[in-house]
Chain A
């Protein structure tokens, strides 16, 4: 089974770089249907995560837990507790591990989703980040079950996440600030689903090297 050495700092850096590079885009999406702060908040959070993460730490679980706690304190908007809980729950799955199997990645995605659902009390179809990561996680699990390796399963998962982002354009928001807009939220893609997809794509690109 393919394993990844603990280059978790490098992986987090790739995620952070992508979020920070897309700061204005994410904020613009949020301006359409929210409170115009998603990119700003996420970029602030990841600047803090990268600043506070020790590049030498090998324990992936410990790094993710710390990243989650930092996001809880620095993002500010709803994505703080949502991503913060997701990273902390993922960290619990990987506590003490310095390498990652394809099965571990499946458990990470599922733990992150469970954390987001616990915190946000949302389900699929409410125009949230779940509309990207639930289909991505399902595709990933299916590909692994079919014998795919981690990278190709993640590539397929990212395609499902992108489709999920497109799907959010077609539905009404019933959670979060966008729910105040009701039907006027149709036609706009969800910022959270977009940042979740950027996250998965950054992990994919990191693993591809």
Chain B
């Protein structure tokens, strides 16, 4: 099953998005979050993200849902850290809004979708009109 990692500068946002998305698939265990720094302050931590990716991966790859700015750069750094350590994890970053995208990704992943379909599902949420 494809894993999903929620990355935010704020651990409250990351955990909140995770909790919201998990309502859609309560038995889905591949949903992790990596929010804020180790001391709880605002920021992103590539090592925390790398740890979450490893934990989320069950062999079918991981989709990363990220918020703004350094979330993307830290997620990219995390993927490189794992590669340099010799881990073979297929992790991709979704170009999608973090709340809507995470919900779509979780539904698709919990339904057994593969990495491409989970990524596509997350990214299609960009086009969803609210009004």
Q: B-contacting residues of A (Cβ < 8 Å)? A: 37, 41, 69, 72-78, 80-82, 84-85, 119-120, 176-177
Contacts and interface: CB of A to CB of B under 8 A. Distances in A.
5 contacts: A72-B45, A72-B81, A76-B9, A80-B45, A80-B46
A76 B47 contact: no
Given A82-B73, A84-B77, A177-B69, A76 B46 contact: no
A41 B47 contact: no
A84 B77 CA distance: 9
B69 A78 contact: yes
Contact of A80 (B38, B41, B43, B81): B43
Interface of B: 9, 37-38, 41-48, 69-70, 73-74, 76-77, 81
A81 B46 CA distance: 8
B47 A119 contact: no
B37 A81 contact: no
Given A76-B37, A119-B77, A176 B69 contact: yes
Contacts of A77: 43, 69-70
Contact of A119 (B38, B41, B73, B81): B73
A80 to B, nearest CB: 6
B76 A76 contact: no
B47 A69 contact: yes
